[in-house]
Structure 1
Amino acid sequence: MDVVNGLTVRAVAEDEVAAWERALFLGFHRPHAPSATELRRADWRPGRWLAGLDGERMVATFRGFDTELTVPGGATVTADAITNVSVLSTHRRRGLLGTMMRRELAAAAERGSAVAILIAAEYRIYGRYGFGPATLGHGWNIDLQRAQGLRDDLPTAPGGRVDFVTMAELATIGPELHDRWRLLQPGAITRSEQWWKRRTGAVVDPAEGFSEPFAAVHRDAEGTVTGLVTYRVTDSWDGSYPNCTLNVTDFLALDLAAAAALWRLVLSVDWVRKVSVSNLGPDDPLPLLLNDPRGATPHAANSDFTWVRVLDVEAAFNARTYGPPGRVVLAVEDRLGYAAGRWAIEVGEGGVGRCTRTTDEADLALGASELGSFHLGSETAARLVAAGLVTELRPGAAAAADLLLRAPLRAWTPDIF
C-alpha cells in the first residue's frame, strides 16, 4: 500500500471488481453504463489491478496486463499494457496517477518487461512518465464513385476464393491468422482469448452491446486462410436511392493477392456509396490499389496511437533489426531512472544491431519519452531535432541515426487495449 496526500493506492481484490468498475465508469464520464462485473472478473489478475482510495471509497483506477509487442524484424518483446486509467474529478492533482504509474512501472521492470505501452487519451499527460508516441492510427474514407474500384492489374492467388464465415468459424480462424500476421507488423500486439470472445459475440459487454459484423476470409488454392475482413453497413437512403456506408472494423492480409481480393469484395457491396476504414496501417497501400487514389481521403481520427515507455533499453533495442551498418550513441535523461545513461547502438551487416551502455561521447541527447518514440522506428530523429525535442550533439548525427533506426514498415497497433 502507498500513501499520497492522505489517499492510498493498493491492489484490488477479486471481490472488489464491482466497486472498481463503478469508479472506472465515473472517471470515464459514464455513470449510466450497465455493469459488466462478471465479464471483468475474467480479466482480473492478482496485483495487476490498482485503485486509489479516499478512506474506503475508490476514486481512481489503473490496470496492467502482459502482451507481446512486435518490433521491426518480426521479433517480439514482453510489454506491460496499461489501460483503464482514471481519477475522479474530485481527486485530481493529489498524486494518485503518479503513484499508480510509478508502482506499475517498477513492478513491470521487476517482472522483466522490456517496455510499457498505453494509448493516451490526452497528449500532455504521459510524457512525464517517459512514454512517447510510437505508432500511428491511420484510416481512409473512400468515395466509391470517385475511386472507381480496384486496378485490374493487381495480383491474384490462382485458385483462391473469398467466403463469408460465421462468428463461430471466425473464433477459430481468426486467432491462428492473427498470430501469423502480427509478426509481420511492427507495433502489433497479441489478441487474447477474451478479445476474440468479445469480437465474435461469445461474451457481450452490457456497456458495449454486440452487433454481428459481416466476416469474410480469403483462402489460397490449398485452403489456407491468408486474409480476413470484418465490417458493418450503416443503412442510409437518400429518398429512394441507397446511400449506405460500409465500416471496416478489422482487416488482416498476409500478401497483396489476399488484400486485393478482400478489398474487391468491400468495394463492391450493393447499396454502399462510401467505405470507412477507421484504422489501417499508415504504410498500407490501399489508396494506390484504387483506379483513382484521390477517391480516398484521410480519416478524421488519424493521430498518434500507441505510446511506448522503455524499461530495459538493452532488451528493447536488441530485439529489433536496423538499417545499414553504423553506430550512434544516445545520451538519455530519465528522471525515473530506467533508461538513464549513454547507450551505443551498433549495427552490422544484415540489420543486426547491439545496444550496450557506453562512456563514449554522445551523438544525440534526448529524454525517455523520445527514446520510446524511437523504439519501433516510426519517428525520425531529424523531425524531433527540428522540434527541439532532441539535441544533435554531432553534426549529421540525426540523419545517421535515422538510417539506423527507421524501419521498412511504420509501426501500427490495430487494437485498442
Structure 2
Amino acid sequence: MTTDVRPLAPELWDLYFDRLARAFGWPASAPEDRELWRQLTETERSLTAWDGEELIGTAGAFSFRMTVPGGAPLAVSGVTMVSVQPTHRRRGVLTAMMRRQLDDFRARGESVAILTASEPAIYGRFGYGVATREMSGTVDTTRVSFAVPEEGRRVRFRLGPAAAALDACEAVYAQVVAGRPGMLARQPGWERKPVLDPPADRDGATELLCVLAELDGEVRGYARYAVKPQRGAGGSESVVRLKDLEALDPAVGAALWQYLADIDLTSSVAFRNRPADDPLVHLVSDLRRCRLGWRDGLHLRLVDVGAALSARTYTCPVDVVLAVEDPFCPWNSGAWRLSGDAEGATCERTTAPADLAVPVRDLGAAYLGGPTLRAMAAAGTVRELRPGALREASAAFHGDVEPWLPHGF
C-alpha cells in the first residue's frame, strides 16, 4: 500500500476530527469542546494520510513554548491528534506520518518535540522518552490532616465559577511557569482549555468552581474543582475532584489543600495530575491514606541534539562526549561534546573519543532533569565508556525540581 501524507486542507477539518474520534472510540464531543479544538488546531501543521480517496490517518502539532532547566522558554512542537484507522493498522501509516513530522520540525528549527501518549509503548521506537511523571491520588480527608504554616491561617478565599476567575488564575500561572521544567506558557486560546466545562462531561458533578486564595489583599493562588455527590451508609461521602492548583507561596498552597479537605459533606479529595514532588506528600499526616500512584506524563524527543542540549542549563559543570544513537533521525547520530554549567551550555560535533553511549530516547527522557542517566545505565540502555563520566553527566542533567506537564494537548 502506498500512503500519501499531505497537509490538512482547512475545509476538511470536520472529517479530520471525525476520523480521529472514530479511531479513538470517542463518543460525540460536546459542541463547545469541538469548537475549541477547531480554533486551536494549526491546520498548516496538521497532516493527513490517505489511501486513495480514503482518509486513514491524522497527526497534528501545536506551537508551544516550554520551560527547560534554567527557566528559559523553548519553542517546541506539541505532537497531537495522532490516529490510524483500524482498517489500516500495521501498514506503515504511523511511521510515514512520524517521518514527515520530524522532518518538518527540523526544517522549522524546533529542536524538541513533545507529546502525551494514549499508549506509552508506541512512541519509543520513534525516539521519544518519558520525561515527566504525573502523580494521582485520593486523600481520605476524614482521616488525614494537613500541616498548614501559621502564615497560611491568614489566607482569605473567594469562590465562584471557574470561568469568572480566569484572568486572576492566569496571572498566577504565568508566574509559576518558569519555575518548573515541562510547563507550557499559555499561547492565545489555550487559557480557555482549563475552564472548559460542558455539562455533558461532568459525570454528575457540579459545575467547575474556582477558589482564589488571597494573602494581604493579593491573589497568590487558586484551585479549580468540582464536587461529585456520593452517599454512603453513614450519609454524604461526596468527592472533591481537583482539576488544578497553583500557588506562589508554600503557605498559600498548604491553605488551599486544607480548604479542599474542609469542604462540608465531602470525605475525600481526588486528583489525577500533580507533580511527582508535590508538597502534598509533606503536608499530609498519613501518606497511606492518600492512595498515591504515578504514571508517565510528557514524552520528549530531541529533534536536533546539539541545539536542544545547548538550550538548557546544567546543575553542575559538565564536559562530556556523548555517542548518540538515533536510527530514526540519523542526523543526530554520532559524537557530541557537551560543555555547560548553571550559566549556559554548548553542544557541538566532535571527533574526540566518546565518554557515554546514549540512545536518543534516553537523552529525551533525561532532558528536563527528571529521570536520571544513572538509572538508565542501571537498566543497561546508557553505557559508560570513560570511568566517572556517568556520575558527572547524570548529576549535571538532574534537576532539583521534578519536571511536570500540567495539562494534556
Answer yes or no: is 1:370 the counterpart of 2:362.
Answer: yes
Given the alignment of the two structures, is residue 385 of structure 1 paired with residue 385 of structure 2, yes or no?
no
Q: Deviations over 1:219-277 (max 9, x none)?
A: 221x3322111111111111351111111110111220110111110111111111112
Q: Equivalent residues in 2 for 1:17-166 (5 A)?
A: 17-30=13-26, 32-33=28-29, 38-147=35-144, 149-152=145-148, 154-156=149-151, 160-166=155-161
Contact 1:177 1:226 in 2 (8 A): yes
Per-residue CA distance 1:4-48 (angstroms, 9 max, x = gap)? x22311111111011111211111113655676644431233421
Q: 1:17–1:37: 8 Å Cα contact kept in structure 2?
A: no
Pairing partner for 2:312 from 314, 320, 342: 320
Cα pair 2:70 2:312 within 8 Å, conserved: yes
Secondary structure at 1:343 match in 2: strand
Alpha-carbon distance between aligned partners in 2 of 1:123 and 1:60, rounded to the nearest angstrom: 19
3-state SS of 2:253 partner: helix
* SS of corresponding position for 1:389: coil
Alignment RMSD: 2.3
1:295 equivalent to 2:289? Answer yes
- The aligned length equals 406
Say which of 173, 176, 179 aligns to 1:181.
176
1:272 match = 266
Pick one of 340, 347, 363 that aligns with 2:340. 347
Equivalent residues in 2 for 1:151-300, closer than 5 Å: 151-152=147-148, 154-156=149-151, 160-201=155-196, 212-221=207-216, 223-299=217-293
Asked if 1:7 corresponds to 2:3, the answer is yes
Aligned to 2:405: 413
**Cα 1:230–1:33 shift into 2, 3 Å:** closer
CA contact (8 A) 1:198 1:204 kept: no
In the TM superposition, what whole-angstrom CA distance separates every residue of 1:47-81 from its partner, at most 9, and x where no partner exists?
Answer: 21111112222111111011011111211111100
Q: State the secondary structure of the residue aligned to 2:361.
A: helix
Segments of 5+ residues of structure 2 without an aligned counterpart are none
Which stretches in structure 1 are left out of the alignment for 5+ residues?
Answer: none
2:42–2:61: 8 Å Cα contact kept in structure 1?
no
Q: Secondary structure at the match of 2:95?
A: helix
- Alpha-carbon distance in 1 for matches of 2:36, 2:272: 27
Cα shift readout 1:180-224 (whole Å, capped 9, x = no counterpart): 1111111111334433324334x8597889962121111221x33
CA 208–45 in structure 1, closer or farther in 2 if over 3 Å, else same: farther
Compute the TM-score of the two structures, normalised by the length of structure 1.
0.90
Deviation at 1:292, TM superposition (A): 3.1
- Aligned identity (percent) is 33
* Inter-partner Cα distance in structure 2 for 1:208 and 1:413: 23
Residue identity matched to 2:138: N
Q: Secondary structure at the match of 1:270?
A: coil
CA distance in 1, matches of 2:43, 2:128: 25
